[in-house]
Amino acid sequence: MPGPLEGLIVADLSRVLAGPYCTMLLADLGATVIKVERSDTGDDTRGWGPPFADDGISTYFHSVNRNKESLAADLDDPVDRERVQRLVDRADVVVENFKAGSLVRFDLDYATVATRNPRVIYCSISGFGAGAGATLPGYDLLVQAASGLMSITGGEEPTKVGVAVVDVVTGLHACVAILAALHERDSSGLGQHVEVNLLGSALSALVNQASSVLGAGITPGLMGNAHPSIAPYEVYPTGDRPIVIAVGNDQQFAVLCAVLEHPAWAADPRFRTNTDRVAHRDELREGITGVLQHAPADRWNDLLTEAGIPCGPINDIAQGLELARRLGLTPQPTALDASDPVAHVSPPFHLSRSPASYRRRAPHLGADTDSVVERFGLDA
């Protein structure tokens, strides 16, 4: 079944994570995505390993480059440069994350491309914007630090998230903005310049934590696994291993107290409301921990789940993937061809009439150069 973006041509001039994640989502939804890569080394992440897949390509590169075709090009070479220029002139969407201003000398910057292709949606992804922060290096770790995300993550010291989450969120924001610009083009007939940056994406993703600063003048700090505004809502030790308990309202708290055989806690002035519990979270944690240590995590998980209390063990990633399989969610094993079954972590959305599809694994560098040049007439 055709994807909802079938017929859309995307010239992907991005590399590493934020841009490729965005363009992979577009490709999953049916767009034809041509990944333009340096002819000598390709995308940096091709070599970011181990681990490597059975085809010699890093699993990092595989994670964000499925459903794409690879066009190898050296922009300093006149023939290759003209090929890329012709590709972007035909594209509906261009995605790039070059340093600000560096594409001007190749006539691939937005202002130049838009004169030749006024319908193009041209998305520029940067670390700190194209203005005063244009020269700052746009690495996810630096943005996690600069945005304040690390200042609220961890227990003993500021800690980065275990995946480049700012890049991923930026890729999602870029995809949303591109789709919005495409929708607007349907009425105006014109393209536009979409700009997305990692710092802005990180601050947006801080949601309630950023709002506490803006709305109440309260700057949050490290709280480990605790929630700044809800209690009990954190990781608790049990008789053998930790368990997560996430109580979202007073009714759930009363049920929790009953399961823990301390119903009086629900009427205790220190714990009666969520606001009370947040103010006395240390006493509450001490009481809950004292009860949980008398039984293993699996026993508490069974009791609390049966009572309707949100809880669960802390899985490793393999266990998380297995849970998704058991629930019929992602990842989905997909036979891209008879000899090449692979497993993908699919997007967490489903379209009933035009679902995402997984047509090919990430390409080898330049594997599609000849085909792309011929199909799009790039040497014409």
| Catalytic residue positions, numbered | 167
Residue 207's region, left for phi above 0, alpha for psi from -120 to 50, else beta, is left
According to DSSP, the residues that pair with 233 across neighbouring strands are 246
CB atoms within 10 A of CB 295: 14
CA–CA separation, 184 and 358 (whole Å): 28
The amino acid present at 159, given as its one-letter code, is T
Count, residues in the chain: 380
CA torsion, ordered 260, 305, 298, 343, to nearest 10 deg: -150
Give yes or no for a contact between 100 and 106, defined as CB atoms under 8 angstroms apart: no
Q: Compute the distance between CA of residue 224 and CA of residue 167 in angstroms, rounded to an integer.
A: 23
Residue 43's Cβ-side half-sphere holds a number of Cα atoms within 13 Å equal to 36
CA 103, CA 6: separation in Å to the nearest integer? 28
The angle at the Cα of 185, spanning 183 to 190, to the nearest 5 degrees, equals 165
Phi then psi for residue 78, to 5 deg, are: -55, -40
Asked if 187 contacts 203 with a C-beta cutoff of 8 angstroms, the reply is no
**What is the C-alpha end-to-end distance of the chain, expressed in Å?**
32
Q: Is the dihedral of CA 301, 304, 307, 308 positive or negative?
A: negative
H or E stretch including 373?
Answer: helix 369-376
